[in-house]
Amino acid sequence: MFSLTAEEVAKNRDRLCELDGVIGDGDHGLAMDAGWQAASKAVLQLDEVEAAPTFLFNTAAKAFLNAVGASSGPLYATAFMRAGTAVKDKHTLSDDDFLDAFRAMAQGIQDRGKAETGEKTMIDAWRPAADAAMEARRTGANISACLDAAVRAARDGCEATRDMVAAKGRSSRLGDRALGHIDPGAASAVIVIEAISAFLTRYDG
């Protein structure tokens, strides 16, 4: 999952920098690329059999944080740490465990950055994505369908940031000038959630 996501983020590195160049400082693609490459590399070095999911997520968190100086560093590091806590003491992850980890990622980002939806951040993609996945699960959807719902909600949430004024992060200094542009963190969240979904569809029997 980490490798696949790192690959997709790398493909979108320049586009994410361009988006951040419009309403931020232009480094978001570099930050996300560095973070996911580092996390993926660190995770690949772990012993596949010995490393419990919690340890794996914590390893990813440390690597991501060390590799990234931008705001997205602590936000994703917290996401991974919370995912690790959500699956504590598990050796393998059931579909529900995986969804718990996914929801914990969104909650971790929200707790760390204190953003609510509507403030033009990655939370505008992550929050509705996590909510849509859990709602789909509640109505009996399988994990692929849950992540499909998450992807759709993330895309809609990202698109909605176009009409928002930023209340958190660097672009909050721009006021109305941020209007008309999507948030780079929301755009990268869509890529990450799409990759997680693609991974699950690939490995879900």
Q: What is the binding site for ligand ADP (CB under 6 A)?
A: 20, 24-25, 27-28, 31, 70-72, 75, 109, 113-115, 121-123, 168-170, 183-186
| Cα–Cα dist 130/103, whole Å | 5
What are the tokens at 32? Answer: 């996300």
Q: Pick from ligand ADP, Mg ion, none: which does 155 bind, CB < 5 to 8 A by kind?
A: none
Shortest Cβ 97–ligand ADP spacing (Å): 25
Residues 6+ apart with CB under 8 A from 39: 2, 6, 59, 60, 61, 63, 64, 67, 80
Is-contact 71 170, C-beta < 8 A?
Answer: yes
Shortest Cβ contact with ligand ADP: which residue?
Answer: 185
Using rule CB under 5 A, residue 28 touches Mg ion: yes
Query: Taking contact as CB under 5 A, which single stretch among the options 20-28, 48-56, 109-117, 119-127 is the one that binds Mg ion?
Result: 20-28
Q: Which of 9, 16, 20, 196 binds Mg ion (CB under 5 A)?
A: 20
Q: Is 180 left (phi over 0), alpha (psi -120 to 50) or beta?
A: left
- Nearer to ligand ADP (CB atom), residue 182 or residue 200: 182
Binding to Mg ion (CB under 5 A) within 83-122 occurs at none
Which 8-state DSSP code applies to residue 190?
H
E strand or H helix at 171: none
φ and ψ of 144, to 5 deg: -65, -45
Shortest Cβ 28–Mg ion spacing (Å): 5
Q: What is the binding site for Mg ion (CB under 5 A)?
A: 20, 24-25, 27-28
